[in-house]
Amino acid sequence: MPRPLILVSNDDGITSKGILTLINVMKELGDVLVVAPDSPQSGMGHAITVGESLRLEENLVFKGVKAYQCSGTPADCVKMARHFVLKGQRQPDVVVSGINHGSNTSISVLYSGTMSAAIEGAIEGTPAIGFSLCDYSHDADFSHTEEYIKKITKQVLDKGLPKGVALNVNFPPKQSQPLKGVRICRQANAKWVEEFDQRFDPNGRRYFWMAGSFVNFDKGEDNDEWAIANNYVSVVPCQFDLTAHQAISILNEEWEILDRSEQTEVSEYRIPGAEDGLKIQ
């Protein structure tokens, strides 16, 4: 039986410390293909390149691993891997992205290039995982993530994921105490409160630098922010369907501009395969 084919990408760029850690773990589980940005692409969200050319070059930095660097976004990288590098060939068994140098908990998942690479995999029907370390320090230690990355990825390879779902996995910074384990969580109700610092360049032209603070409104103990604060690995199942299904019936009932004669009844929505459990051993 052939080893699994694992597609690795990220948003910090192909030379980042996090992707090297992830590649080394994935080599223990299967055959690895790397397609990653040639420069940092943090905060790009699910952007794709449509008005500029894309460049793809082989990168020989990883010993024993086929790797390419792409001038595009993380989503571009997954598209290029599937539809150019692997065109007409075997497709990946899993897409893994990261390890991101910084948190992708809560609302950050919408802005994250790391998670967009994983979501792109899910859009294509491939099980996918985005890994992030909640540590922004220059010399962040990724070593405590390796065991759990291997376990989580092996679970996904062995048992799959519900259709259209990608996992958003975040790790606390390394501490004196070992990680307590894994929590399957929901996304916390939190957001960035932005501020824009007005500045002037040497020519007197005005520009702005975005700043702000992260505010957590969530008091629950079942969300990713709580898990990270309490030294757990947080795992949040994410989907690319952004429809607010619970609002459809409300709008149908309350809006006065709808043609009631042609209104169809909305059935209860369930994510395909959501009845399947996800367990980390």
Give binding residues for a divalent metal cation as ranges. 11-12, 42, 100
- Rounded-to-integer distance, Cα 66 and Cα 34, Å: 6
Distances (CA, A) of 237 to 58, 108, 113, 180, 197: 33, 14, 17, 20, 35
Can you read off the two tokens belonging to residue 207?
């520009």
The alpha-carbon radius of gyration of the chain (Å, integer) is 20
CA 244, distance to chain mean position in Å, is 21
Tell how strand 56-58 and strand 31-37 pair up. Answer: unpaired
For residue 129, the cross-strand partners are: 96, 167
Can you read off the two tokens belonging to residue 126?
């491939």
Binding region: 11-12, 42, 100
Q: Could you tell me the end-to-end alpha-carbon distance of the chain, in angstroms, rounded to an integer?
A: 23
Q: In what order do the strands lie in the sheet with 5-9?
A: 56-58, 66-70, 31-37, 5-9, 94-101, 128-133, 165-171, 233-239, 182-184
**Dihedral sign (CA 109, 115, 116, 120):** negative
